[in-house]
Amino acid sequence: MKTIKILGTGCPKCKQTESVINEALALSGQQAEVIKVEDIQKIMEYNVMSTPAIVVDEVLKMKGKVPTVSEVLALLA
């Protein structure tokens, strides 16, 4: 099972990202653990400067924008 982390300090965009990811997971029928990382010190460990960012299995996949459902599906494929 994949682990998806959403990095972001709790702004509206991060919440949108979470709902897009959940939507994509529901659509593809995949199981994944979705974790929101809101602690700035932890976020900075991934060396990102623009949030929200998405980390899949500890690899930084996307940063600085809210993804679309199809983008998330591509990340999970």
Partner 1 sequence: MFDWLQNLADWLVYGVFGLEESSKLGIAVNFFFYDTIKILILLMLITTLMGLVNAYFPVERLRDFLQRKKLYGLENLLASFFGAITPFCSCSSVPLFIGFVQGGIPLGVTFSFLITSPLVNEIALAMFIGLFGIKFTVIYAVTGILLGTIGGMVLGRMGLEKYLSDWVQNLIKAKTEASEAYRAEQVPFKERLKAVLHEAWGIVKSIVIYVIIGIGIGAAMHGYVPENFFAQYLGSGQWWTVPFAVILAVPLYSNAAGIIPVIQVLVAKGVPIGTSIAFMMATIGLSIPEGTLLKKVMSTRLISIYFGVVTLFIIISGFIFNFIL
The contacts of residue 32 (CB under 8 Å, 6+ apart) are: 1, 2, 3, 4, 25, 76
19 near partner 1 (CB under 8 A): no
Question: Which C-beta is closer to partner 1: that of 1 or that of 49?
Answer: 49
Catalytic entry in 7, 14, 43, 62: 14
- Give least dist CB 43 to partner 1, A: 6
- Torsion angles phi and psi, residue 42, rounded to 5: -70, -40
Name the one range near partner 1 by CB under 8 A: 17-25, 26-34, 59-67. 59-67
Type and span of the H or E element at 20: helix 12-28
**Contact indicator for 27, 62 with CB cutoff of 8 Å:** no
Which residues in this chain contact partner 1 in the complex, by CB under 8 A? 8-14, 16, 40-41, 43-44, 47-51, 64-66, 68
